[in-house]
C-alpha cells in the first residue's frame, strides 16, 4: 500500500528586511500596551502596529501572544532579581539592631526599582505598572510569577528571619507579602493618591512616598516578626 505523501512543516522564516532592533521594539510596544490595558485588552495586531511591523515578525520571534507576554515580564525581571540578590549579599544584618537591619533590608528590596524609576526610562515605568497587575492575578501565578520570583522571595524571607531568629517562617512570609504589596503599589504610579489628596500628594513624588512607605514597612516587619502565629486569629 502506498503511503500518502507527508510534507514537512514549513519552518517560520525570518521576515525579509527586518530591522536589527525589531525584536526589542516589539517587546517595548507590547510592554507599553500590556501596562495600559492588560494582557486580554491588547491584540497582537495592535502590538505590531505600535512596533511598525507585521504579524510575521511576532510569529518568528515569539510564536504566540502568551510567549511574548512572558518574555516581556522576564526581560526586566532578570536584572531586577540579580540586583536584589547583589544588594542582599552586601548587607550586614544584626539581630541586636533589628530596626536598623530591617530598614537596610527593605531598602535593598526596593532600591533596584527606585534606581530605574528615577531614571525616567519609559520602559521601566511601564514594567512597574505591569508587574503590579500580574502579581495579583492567579492566572499568571504558576506560569510566570512563581518561576521568576520564588527564589528571591525565599532569600529575603530568610534574611527577615535572621533579624528576629526566634520568629516563625510563617510570620516572615506574611511580612514579605505585605512589603511586596506596598512596594508594587508604590511604584505602579497609578495616580490614586493624587486623586485622594486632591492633588496635594503625587505618586510621581517618589522620594516623599518612599519615606512614608519605608517607615511603614519597617514597623510592620518588626511587628510581624514579634508575634508568633500571625496567621491565626484568637477566638
How far is residue 159's CA from residue 104's CA, in Å, rounded to a whole number? 11
**Confidence at residue 205, expressed as pLDDT on a 0 to 100 scale:** 83
Report the share of the chain in percent with pLDDT over 70.
88
Q: What is the pLDDT of residues 121-168, one digit of tens each?
A: 899 999 999 999 998 888 888 889 999 999 999 999 999 999 999 999
Cα three-residue angle 186-90-160, rounded to 5 degrees: 60
Kindly list the distances between the CA atom of residue 210 and the CA atoms of 92, 143, 184, in Å, as whole numbers in the listed order: 22, 31, 12
pLDDT digits (tens, 9 = 90+) for 85-129: 999 999 999 999 999 999 999 999 999 999 998 888 899 999 999
Rounded to two decimals, the pTM is 0.83
For residues 79 and 95, give the distance between their C-alpha atoms in angstroms, rounded to a whole number.
29
Domains annotated on the chain, with CATH: 74-226 (1.10.357.10)
| Dist CA 193 CA 27 (whole Å) | 30
Amino acid at each position: 500500500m502506498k503511503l500518502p505523501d507527508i510534507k514537512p512543516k514549513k519552518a517560520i522564516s525570518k521576515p525579509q528586511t527586518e530591522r536589527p532592533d525589531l525584536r526589542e521594539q516589539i517587546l517595548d510596544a507590547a510592554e507599553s500596551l500590556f501596562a495600559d490595558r492588560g494582557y486580554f485588552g491588547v491584540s497582537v495586531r495592535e502590538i505590531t502596529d505600535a512596533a511598525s511591523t507585521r504579524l510575521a515578525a511576532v510569529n518568528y520571534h515569539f510564536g504566540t501572544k502568551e510567549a511574548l507576554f512572558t518574555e516581556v515580564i522576564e526581560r526586566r525581571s532578570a536584572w531586577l532579581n540579580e540586583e536584589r540578590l547583589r544588594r542582599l549579599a552586601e548587607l550586614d544584618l544584626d539581630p541586636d539592631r533589628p530596626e536598623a537591619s530591617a530598614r537596610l533590608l527593605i531598602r535593598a528590596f526596593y532600591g533596584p526599582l527606585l534606581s530605574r524609576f528615577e531614571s525616567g526610562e519609559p520602559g521601566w515605568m511601564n514594567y512597574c505598572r505591569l508587574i503590579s497587575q500580574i502579581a495579583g492575578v492567579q492566572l499568571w501565578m504558576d506560569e510566570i510569577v512563581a518561576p521568576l520570583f520564588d527564589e528571591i522571595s525565599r532569600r529575603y524571607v530568610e534574611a527577615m528571619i535572621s533579624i528576629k531568629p526566634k520568629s516563625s517562617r510563617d510570620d516572615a512570609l506574611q511580612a514579605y507579602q505585605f512589603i511586596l504589596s506596598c512596594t508594587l503599589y508604590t511604584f505602579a504610579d497609578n495616580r490614586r493618591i493624587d486623586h485622594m489628596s486632591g492633588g496635594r500628594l503625587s505618586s510621581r513624588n517618589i522620594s516623599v512616598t518612599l519615606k512614608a512607605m519605608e517607615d511603614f514597612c519597617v514597623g510592620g516587619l518588626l511587628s510581624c516578626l514579634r508575634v508568633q502565629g500571625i496567621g491565626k486569629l484568637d477566638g
